[in-house]
Amino acid sequence: MADELHVVAFNVPWPADYGGVMDVYYRLRAMCEAGVKIHLHCFTYGRPKAPELESVCASVDYYRRNMAWWLQLGRRPFIVSSRENAELRECLLADCLPVLLEGVHCCWLLEEGVLPDDRRVAVRAHNVEMNYYSMLYKSETNWWRRSYLHLESLKLRHYEPLLRRASAVFTVSDGDRDCFRAMGCRHVATVPCGNPNREPHWGGQSVRRALYHGNLSVPENDAAARDLIANVFAGFDCELVVAGHAPSAALRKLAGRYDNVSLVADPSDNEMWRLVEESSVNILTTRQATGLKIKLLNALFRGRHCLVNSEMVEGTGLKELCVVEDDAAGMQKAVMRLMKEDFGEEQMNFRRERLKPYVTSNAIGPILEWLH
């Protein structure tokens, strides 16, 4: 008989078009292929129901996220209180199957008295959210949004230790794993991000350019792109392409000032993959060492040379596959050197071997062990 479990997702994980839902969807697909019967429960806000999920799940149920503003006045984080749902609780109480919660967002189900104490409930921690929201607060420029993010980070600092009640916590990186262990969580294991890459693939003709890609509507990614343009590529004899979803007006204006910088807004999946595969250098930076690293995995599985800063690879186990520089001068020198270097068979074989644990079908091992 197949293993069977409930998965509670913070959002509808299809289309898999940004980091968090990519992690959810590609793990669902891998668990389905491993013979697990999945009952998916997901919250709808800004994303419609997705019949495509029925191909990887035995059942799919949808719940409306409660976006009432007054929920922000409570002691619980808004990302949690807005997902409390009596119908979902009753559905989970109808059987005794294990439950996997996607993110702290769904952890009201861990609160005392919601589910029986002996119910096996695990959490997929996409971030150490209190740190993640604190960094979002520091990157945000809108005063109202800054106030919300700061308050949410403080609430999460008090709420996140609730994960001690989970029977297992699965983190995206070793750094996050150590943080949750320090909180007193039990059975904490690293499960690399679910991603679409079943094996490394390098195609296309190498083009002498650097590429930065990401969801540009995220303030942190917007800030990283603007930093690269202003501090590394301004007046630098090298082409930079910045590609991603919903670039800000400020980013568009900045990119337009320089002949060597081009902006590709809202590229299709095929266009993004082409840019990743053909660019001789994929350059990725971040101001925070927490969070999902799917764009880094995509660059390593499909791109050539990867130039990053220390925070991008901290706690990921991927440092040896990248060139790491933390200042503008070092990045400029690295870009010029990497532009001249072939990405040859020896490097491909080395990367192919090191990336095996990050193929999602291999990465889900700790979850399957917990389920068994």
Distances (CA, A) of 213 to 119, 161, 225, 286, 322: 41, 33, 8, 12, 16
The per-residue pLDDT for 18 is: 83
As a whole number of angstroms, the distance between CA 166 and CA 203 comes to 43
More confident residue, 1 or 177: 177
Q: What does pLDDT average to over the chain?
A: 93
For residues 303-330, give the mean pLDDT.
Answer: 93
Contact by Cβ (8 Å): 72, 79: no
What's the pTM value of the predicted model, to 2 decimals?
Answer: 0.90
For residues 67-85, give the mean pLDDT.
Answer: 95
41-45, 48-52, 113-117, 314-318: least confident range: 314-318
Give the side-chain half-sphere CA count within 13 A for 87.
10
As a whole number of angstroms, the distance between CA 152 and CA 43 comes to 20
User: Tens digit of pLDDT for each residue in 233-292?
Assistant: 998 999 999 999 999 999 999 999 999 999 999 999 899 999 999 999 999 998 777 666
Q: Which amino acid is at 114?
A: V
The per-residue pLDDT for 334 is: 97
For residues 217-238, give the mean pLDDT.
Answer: 91
Contact by Cβ (8 Å): 33, 365: no
Confidence class of residue 169 from pLDDT cuts 50, 70 and 90? very high
Q: Which percentage of the chain shows pLDDT scores above 90?
A: 82
As a whole number of angstroms, the distance between CA 352 and CA 343 comes to 13
Confidence class of residue 2 from pLDDT cuts 50, 70 and 90? low
pLDDT higher than threshold 50 for residue 28: yes
As a whole number of angstroms, the distance between CA 222 and CA 364 comes to 31
Q: CB neighbours of 274 closer than 8 A, spacing ≥ 6?
A: 204
User: What angle, rounded to 10 degrees, do the helices at 269-278 and 294-302 form?
Assistant: 60
Indicate if the alpha-carbon torsion angle 23, 133, 144, 229 is positive or negative: negative
Confidence class of residue 17 from pLDDT cuts 50, 70 and 90? confident
pLDDT higher than threshold 70 for residue 311: yes
Strand partners, 7: 40, 100
The per-residue pLDDT for 1 is: 37
Contact by Cβ (8 Å): 276, 213: yes
Q: Which domains does the chain have, with CATH numbers?
A: 4-194+359-371 (3.40.50.2000), 207-354 (3.40.50.2000)
Give, for 89, the enclosing helix (H) or strand (E). Answer: helix 86-93
For residues 330-347, give the mean pLDDT.
Answer: 93
The answer for 72, left when phi > 0, alpha when psi is -120 to 50, beta otherwise, is: alpha
* 188-190: strand order across its sheet: 59-64, 37-44, 4-9, 99-102, 121-125, 168-171, 188-190
The per-residue pLDDT for 14 is: 96
The per-residue pLDDT for 290 is: 65
The per-residue pLDDT for 273 is: 92
Q: Give the tokens for residue 66.
A: 């409660």
User: Tens digit of pLDDT for each residue in 93-152?
Assistant: 999 999 999 999 999 999 999 999 999 999 999 999 998 898 888 877 888 989 999 999
